[in-house]
Amino acid sequence: MKFGTMLKDIVESFFKKTATQMYPEEKIAPPERYRGELMYDPKACTGCCLCTKDCPSKAIELVILDRAAKRFVLKYHRDRCVYCGQCVVNCKFKCMGMSNKDWEHAVLKKDFTVYFGKDEDVAQFLASLAPTPAESTNG
Amino acid sequence: MNTFTSFVSILIFPAGLTLVFTGMFYEWIDRKLVARFQNRVGPRWFQPFADMVKLFAKEQITPGLANPFLFFGLPVVAIAGALTSALYVPLMGLNPVHSFPGDLIVAIYLLSLLTMCIGLAGWNTSGRFSLVGATRALTQMFAYEAPFLLALLGPALAAGSWQISEVNRFAQTHWIIITQPVGFIVALIGLMGKLELPPFDSPEAETEIVAGALTEYSGRGLAIFKIGKSIELIVGITLVSAFYLGGLNGVLPFLLKTIVVLLLMTVLQTLLTRLRIDQTVGLWWRFGTILVLAQIMLIVFLRSYPL
Amino acid sequence: MNTKQNLEKAEWLLANWNKETTYPEADRLDVLVTAEDLRSAVTTLHDAKWGYLSAITGLDLGVESGQLEALYHFCNGPAITTLKVHLPRVGDASLPTIEDIIPSATFFEREMSETVGFQITGAKSMDRLFISDDWPEGVYPLRADFKIEQAAPVEGRYVDEIPEEGVVRGNTFVVPIGPQHPALKEPGHFEFTVDGEVVTAARMRLGYAHRGIEKAAESRNWIQNLYLFERVCGICSHVHTMAYAAGVEKLAQVEVPMRAQAIRQIVAGLERIHSHLLWLGVAAHEAGFDTLFMYSWRDRETVMNLLEQITGNRVNYSANVLGGVKCDIGLEQAKVIKEGLDFLEVRIRHYLEVVTTDAMFLNRTRGVGTITRVEAERFGLLGPTARASGLVRDVRVEAPYGAYTRFPISAVTATNGDLEARCEVRLNELLVSCFAIRTLIDNLPEGPLTVKMPRKIPAGETISRVEAPRGELFYYIKSGGGENPLRIHVRTPSLCNWVSVLEKAVGRQLADVPMLIAGMDPCFSCNDRVVTVKHSNDQKTWSWKQLREYGIEYYKR
């Protein structure tokens, strides 16, 4: 039976640096395998839609503008995604990945939906959405 | 002294406003030290002030079953008791504002008035947690008052007076901690029990009864009680360091000695687990009182029959 | 005796009552009995000490078949005997209670009755356990014909036993802990009737974090369900996916490569370290020892960083896929893991020393909540709570699964059964885990990481048991041959262990109650998907004056 078994810890800590991470002045970068936000490479995509079938929270939708010409737009709901990585596993053509740089996901505005794709494809898709006010409240 | 000096010394310096701010400053030191011992950063220097400002700005919700007269009056009485008891101790190392023979008892009584008000407040609000907390607070008060008072009595007996300023003067020439070490330990632990610091914080055990007797208090009432508690901290530490650590005769000795006592208390706080109420009472009412009584017997014996 | 002989013995024991016997898998026996014979069958198995009651599952066999099925699962090592009872969907579906034979059955029966719709006759209390009080009567969510529109809340319906806001109700003074309370990390409701400081009765209600996961699983495909079940709990998420994936792989008759099994075991070991360090901090915080809380949670960051480096996330690792694992452990990860483990071992040994020698902490834990071995068996306890009483209930030892067949683990037990013993058992388990992880990393088998799984899992049912940090996790998975499961039933270990708190709280001081709750390591998220009242005989009326005098008197003793 001893008194004060943690005395050594206490005294040492007084002279050591604290264990607290001083965010936001000091930001520690996440490790390499960190599963952050989704990244999509439209060049390799063939439109098989395997990624969207198994998403647990219906966070991604593939809009097919023209299958033969390989023009796709991936609609990604950042607020629904659970960052599981199943879509990355499912994709056979390696067009999906999870970023390990972008991890501060709190935002002030509610624009959660992100559109991935080649610029002209995305522009065309957004233009087709704009006229209908009911649709623009989606996502 | 004339009216103006009395006015300033009671309300502004060294008692009154200065005391309130010093109390908050010491509370900050306590929290910062505890945090550093636990390898954390701890709050910044203005945290207790910010807490008070926030609490004063919040709405005060009165429980339905509480007597409103008591509900609003008890914090005022509590802080009045604490502030008044501070008038008799050598704050900031200066002479006490008022002094008369026997003021040791008065000062201690006024401090315990604070605890009794907390107990009454808990009973008055009659929430389930407050009742359990109030019972524990009063039980602990009975357990710790006696040893604490007896431990302060040792130096008083050695100085031959019950007046705090006399004992302070006597202690400046005799370091009583060397001749009465047992008394010092009992005084320190008795102070921790009186202030309800861990490991004796059973009356406000956060994980068992939310906040103890003060659970239903919010806003101004809670702020006033908290200020009262930090004043109690200062007064208690001043008494212990004045009596045992060689008296306080200036601002610098005051700061140094009180911070040493605070450091010791902080180390004990972080090192020990909270005791259950039956264990606190059982442990200290037996051991503490016996030790200090033995000490006092020794002093009386030595004074009556000097060697 | 081996599994086959074990099962044959069970069949022989139940010879009088079985209407039909099947062996759906090599280690399982299904026996069909009628509702009238149920009690005799259960008593026979219990008296012959053939295993312990692990779970009771209820399911709806479909509108066409017109039947409900209740399954009583008894486990003895790797052998599982299931007693099946069929009852009509419409009309009288009453089952006799078995809670007087096996006390832990009460929670299982109540969960089954309120979600599937059996009537349990003879039970002491049929209050709602998980479903909220304003759920309409007669609407059973797990039935096949349940529609969401039926679930309209009923106004003003509350369980009428909850005391009014006030001090003294009748002869009792009730202290509520929860649903919001600093002692609880997750919501749950406890009511302790106290007599001064001594608890005289205990009562609880669960279901505040109930999310309807079992029902939600029926409308998602097998792969989506993997992630759904991962989120049943935050700190045992990996073992939930292990159990689920193991069950589905068994149904699909797919052999997962040994390298993937080993990696699963490594992540499970790291998760165990994470869970037990978290528990240590929480128990210390409940005791008032904040320093130990802060230090153990600081060291927990090390293991969370390790998990993040291997799997990509600190909580809800998603390391498993159906058929294997997602992440590999290469040389670099192995080095990092070993460094982390070195640091953690030093700290764990230090905590072991603190927990067993610190006089003030022992004051709060030694002799508190002592459960003897006999009581532990009777209550049906699982996990470290049972192992601290000397009862070896560890699925990794009794029924090794996955990589444990090649890299076995030794079970850690203690004899005292009090809180101190539970602390010791958990910390020693961590040391065993560290050693096991090192062995695994050094001997990681070569091979692929995943194997191909069909999208439609063949019809059948299976039982998957794994050892979570809190005890045995039991999954019953039934497939109809399609892309979605028919029924998945999860029985989490915390549900079995609640009995220990309620029984042991009576007679102790109020201050010990949070420690007792923390001592069994409850995971409310896990089990929310119960009320017992136990009275001691002396209750008096206390006025405030009497209570205060009692407090004054108390110190004089």
Min mean pLDDT across B282-291, C46-55, C117-126, C535-544 is at C535-544
Checking if the pLDDT of C463 tops 90, the result is yes
CA atoms within 13 A on the CB side of A63: 18
Among A5, A14, A15, A21, the strongest candidate for a mutation testing the B interface, having the largest count of B CBs within 10 A, is: A14
pLDDT of res. C527: 65
CA C335 to chain centre: 34
pLDDT of res. C551: 61
Query: Which chain B residues contact residue A6 at CB under 8 A?
Result: 270-271
Interface predicted TM-score (ipTM) of this complex, two decimals: 0.89
Facing A18 at nearest CB: one of B39, B270, B271: B39
pLDDT of res. C547: 52
Share of chain B above pLDDT 90, in %: 30
CB–CB of C157/C136 below 8 Å?
Answer: no
Contact C547 B198 (CB under 8 A): no
Q: Are residues C127 and C274 in the same domain?
A: no
Share of chain C above pLDDT 90, in %: 33
CB–CB of A57/A79 below 8 Å?
Answer: no
pLDDT of res. C166: 40
CB–CB of C327/C231 below 8 Å?
Answer: no
Facing A9 at nearest CB: one of C295, C318, C321: C295
Facing A35 at nearest CB: one of C220, C313, C358: C313
Domain assignment present for residue C203? The answer is no
CB–CB of C189/C181 below 8 Å?
Answer: no
pLDDT of res. C538: 34
Query: Which chain C residues contact residue A56 at CB under 8 A?
Result: 220, 223-228
Give the nearest chain C residue to B282 (CA atoms): C555
Instruction: Spell out the alpha helix ranges (H) of C257-368.
Output: 258-287, 290-311, 331-357, 359-365
User: Looking at chain A, which subunits does it touch, using at least 3 CB pairs closer than 8 Å as the criterion?
Assistant: B, C
Contact C295 A30 (CB under 8 A): no
Q: Does B40 touch chain A (CB under 8 A)?
A: yes
Contact A34 C221 (CB under 8 A): no
Convert the pLDDT of each residue in C172-202 to its tens digit. 677 777 777 777 777 778 878 887 778 887 7
Contact A10 C313 (CB under 8 A): no
Query: What average pLDDT does the structure give for chain C?
Result: 84
Task: Compute how many other C-beta atoms are within 10 angstroms of the C-beta atom of residue C536.
Answer: 13
Facing C509 at nearest CB: one of B65, B201, B278: B278
Min mean pLDDT across A134-138, B1-5, B13-17, B28-32 is at A134-138
Give the nearest chain C residue to B140 (CA atoms): C555
Q: Are residues C280 and C396 in the same domain?
A: yes
Domain boundaries, chain A: 34-132
- Separation CA C520–CA C533 (nearest Å): 19
- Separation CA C237–CA C205 (nearest Å): 24
Distance from CA of B119 to the nearest CA of A (A): 31
Among C213, C224, C337, C356, the strongest candidate for a mutation testing the A interface, having the largest count of A CBs within 10 A, is: C224
Select the highest-mean-pLDDT range: A44-53, B79-88, B211-220: B79-88
Domain assignment present for residue C272? The answer is yes
Facing C227 at nearest CB: one of A19, A32, A82: A82
pLDDT of res. C172: 65
Contact A7 B271 (CB under 8 A): yes
Q: Looking at C101, C121, C146, which one is the last position of a domain?
A: C146
- Separation CA B226–CA C244 (nearest Å): 52
For residues B108-120, average pLDDT: 90
Nearest to B58 by CA among B222, B263, B225: B222
- Parent domain of C133: 3-146
Q: Are residues C226 and C140 in the same domain?
A: no
CB–CB of C36/C122 below 8 Å?
Answer: no
**Contacts for C537-545: CB closer than 8 Å, 24+ residues apart:** C538/C195, C538/C200, C539/C171, C539/C172, C539/C193, C539/C195, C539/C200, C540/C171, C540/C195, C541/C168, C541/C171, C542/C168, C542/C173, C542/C195, C542/C196, C543/C168, C544/B123, C544/B126, C544/B131, C544/C167
Q: Does B273 touch chain A (CB under 8 A)?
A: no
Min mean pLDDT across B127-136, B217-226, C55-64, C214-223 is at B127-136
Query: Which chain A residues contact residue C357 at CB under 8 A?
Result: 1-2, 5
Give the nearest chain C residue to A9 (CA atoms): C295
Contact C227 A53 (CB under 8 A): no
Min mean pLDDT across A27-36, B200-209, C261-270, C379-388 is at B200-209
DSSP 3-state assignment of C540?
coil
> What is the domain count for chain C?
2
Please enumerate in sequence order all residues whose Cβ is within 8 A of that of C369, keeping only pairs 6 or more positions apart, or say none: C418, C419, C500, C504, C508, C512, C515, C516, C519
For residues B171-186, average pLDDT: 85
Contact B207 C285 (CB under 8 A): yes
Q: Residues 133-162, chain B: which have Cβ within 8 Å of C? A: 135-136, 138-139, 142-143
- Burial C417-442, CB ≥16 within 10 A → b, else e: bbbbbbbbbbbbbbbebbebbbebbe
pLDDT of res. A25: 87
Task: Compute how many other C-beta atoms are within 10 angstroms of the C-beta atom of residue C162.
Answer: 15
Give the nearest chain A residue to C366 (CA atoms): A1
DSSP 3-state assignment of C75?
strand
pLDDT of res. C425: 93
Facing A14 at nearest CB: one of B36, B41, B272: B36
Query: Which chain C residues contact residue B202 at CB under 8 A?
Result: 511
Contact C295 A6 (CB under 8 A): yes
pLDDT of res. C235: 87
**Contacts for C153-162: CB closer than 8 Å, 24+ residues apart:** C157/C133, C158/C133, C158/C134, C159/C127, C159/C128, C159/C133, C159/C205, C161/C127, C161/C203, C162/C191
Instruction: Report which of residues B235 and A133 the model is more confident about.
Output: B235
Distance from CA of B273 to the nearest CA of A (A): 9
Q: Which two tokens stand for residue B121?
A: 């407040």
Query: Which chain B residues contact residue C176 at CB under 8 A?
Result: 128
Facing A2 at nearest CB: one of C224, C321, C358: C358
Instruction: Report which of residues C162 and A15 the model is more confident about.
Output: A15
Domain assignment present for residue C199? The answer is no
The dihedral over CA atoms of C97, C99, C105, C109, expressed in degrees to the nearest 10, equals 30
Query: Which chain A residues contact residue C295 at CB under 8 A?
Result: 6, 9
Distance from CA of B35 to the nearest CA of A (A): 9
Q: β-strands C198-205, C189-195: how paired?
A: antiparallel
- Going by pLDDT thresholds of 50, 70 and 90, the confidence category of residue C171 is low
Please enumerate in sequence order all residues whose Cβ is within 8 A of that of B236, keeping only pairs 6 or more positions apart, or say none: B111, B191, B194, B195
For residues B178-196, average pLDDT: 87
Query: Which chain C residues contact residue B205 at CB under 8 A?
Result: 288, 511
DSSP 3-state assignment of B95?
coil
- Tell me how far CA of residue C451 lies from CA of B228, C252, C260, C261, C323, in angstroms: 69, 12, 9, 12, 5
- Separation CA B217–CA C346 (nearest Å): 45
Facing C182 at nearest CB: one of B37, B206, B273: B206
Q: Looking at C461, C496, C531, which one is the last position of a domain?
A: C496
* Dihedral pair phi/psi, residue C512, rounded to 5°: -85, -15
Checking if the pLDDT of C297 tops 90, the result is yes
Nearest to B63 by CA among B130, B6, B11, B14: B130
Q: Are residues C129 and C241 in the same domain?
A: no
Q: Are residues C124 and C221 in the same domain?
A: no
CB–CB of C411/C476 below 8 Å?
Answer: no
Q: Which two tokens stand for residue C322?
A: 């159906």
Query: Which chain C residues contact residue B40 at CB under 8 A?
Result: 294
Q: Nearest-5° angle of CA C107, CA C109, CA C114?
A: 100
Contact B36 A18 (CB under 8 A): yes
Min mean pLDDT across C107-121, C216-230, C436-450 is at C107-121
Convert the pLDDT of each residue in C383-439 to its tens digit. 898 999 998 889 999 889 888 999 998 889 998 888 899 999 999 999 999 999 999
pLDDT of res. C429: 93
For residues B200-210, average pLDDT: 76
Facing A6 at nearest CB: one of C220, C291, C305: C291
Facing C514 at nearest CB: one of B129, B142, B207: B207
Residue A42 CB burial class (10 angstroms; 0-12, 13-18, ≥19)? middle
Domain boundaries, chain B: 19-304
Interface of A to B at Cβ within 8 Å reads 3-4, 6-7, 9-10, 13-14, 16, 18-20, 22
Convert the pLDDT of each residue in C336-352 to its tens digit. 999 999 999 999 999 99
Facing C555 at nearest CB: one of B37, B273, B281: B281
Please state the pTM of the whole predicted model: 0.88
In sequence order, the β-bridge partners of residue C320 are C325
Distance from CA of B144 to the nearest CA of A (A): 21
Contact A31 C309 (CB under 8 A): yes
Give the nearest chain A residue to B33 (CA atoms): A14
Q: Does C428 touch chain A (CB under 8 A)?
A: no
DSSP tally for chain C: helices H, then strands E: 18, 16
Does the domain formed by A34-132 have CATH 3.30.70.3270? yes
Contact A85 C312 (CB under 8 A): yes
Facing A35 at nearest CB: one of C228, C301, C312: C312
CB–CB of C1/C9 below 8 Å?
Answer: yes
Instruction: Report which of residues C151 and C82 the model is more confident about.
Output: C82
pLDDT of res. C164: 43
CATH code of the domain covering residue C36: 3.30.460.80
Instruction: Report which of residues C37 and C183 the model is more confident about.
Output: C37
CB–CB of C280/C419 below 8 Å?
Answer: no
Q: Residues 360-379, chain C: which have Cβ within 8 Å of A? A: 360, 362
Convert the pLDDT of each residue in B12-52 to its tens digit. 877 888 899 999 999 999 999 999 999 999 899 999 999 99
Query: Which chain C residues contact residue B208 at CB under 8 A?
Result: 183, 510-511, 513-514
Contact C359 A56 (CB under 8 A): no
Instruction: Report which of residues B242 and A111 the model is more confident about.
Output: B242
